[in-house]
Structure 1
Amino acid sequence: MFFRKKLEARTYDKENQMPVIRSSICTGEKVAGFRDIRTGKFTEVMLIRTSGDLAEFCRLYGIGESEISTQY
């Protein structure tokens, strides 16, 4: 049996990064991360398989689900 370790709150650079869900059109795979506003570089943080994973990502970084945009 596996136990999921409770992760502590993290921070990100709110002035230079924005939270984004990157979704594949072909496979539907979703990855949560941050996109640099100036360069457009995407930094992956975690794979989103369920709505619980998205809620966990939002809780870790103190983000509201309405603040996250989706890129295809």
Structure 2
Amino acid sequence: MGLFRKKTVRKIPDGCEGLEIKVQTSTCTGEKTIGFFDRKTGELMYKELVRNKADIDAFYDSYGLVPPEG
């Protein structure tokens, strides 16, 4: 049963330590993705699809991070 499953926290991927987490929206489709944003290259790495606020919170929670307020 999945009710009593142990919560697993993923390790932040190599090369992503210290990068900001950013939500980007596609201009064409409006699809939102969240991932680690590298300002130097402008690249969003380790992207995941976002449908609502709960998905954003789940992304932060999966890496053991605290989401920003607001």
Where on the TM-score scale, by shorter chain, does this alignment land: which range? 0.5 to 0.7
Gaps of 5+ in 2: none
Q: Provide Cα deviations, 1:3-28, integer angstroms capped at 9, x if missing partner.
A: 7x87721214323x211111124432
Distance in 1 between residues matched to 2:39 and 2:62, nearest whole Å = 21
* 2:42 alignment partner, SS class: coil
* RMSD over aligned Cα atoms: 2.7
> Given residue 8 of structure 1, which amino acid in structure 2 is its aligned partner?
T
Distance 2:7 2:48 in 1: 12
**Greater percentage in helix:** 1
Please list the CA deviations of residues 18-72 of structure 1 after superposition, one character each: whole Å capped at 9, or x if unmatched: 11111124432110111123222221431011222111101012333328xxxxx
Residue equivalent to 2:63: 61
Runs of 4+ in 1 over 4 A off after TM superposition: none
Per the normalisation by structure 1, the TM-score is 0.61
**TM value normalised by structure 2:** 0.62
Aligned length: 63
Identity among equivalent pairs (%)? 32
Q: Which runs of 5+ in 1 are unaligned?
A: 68-72
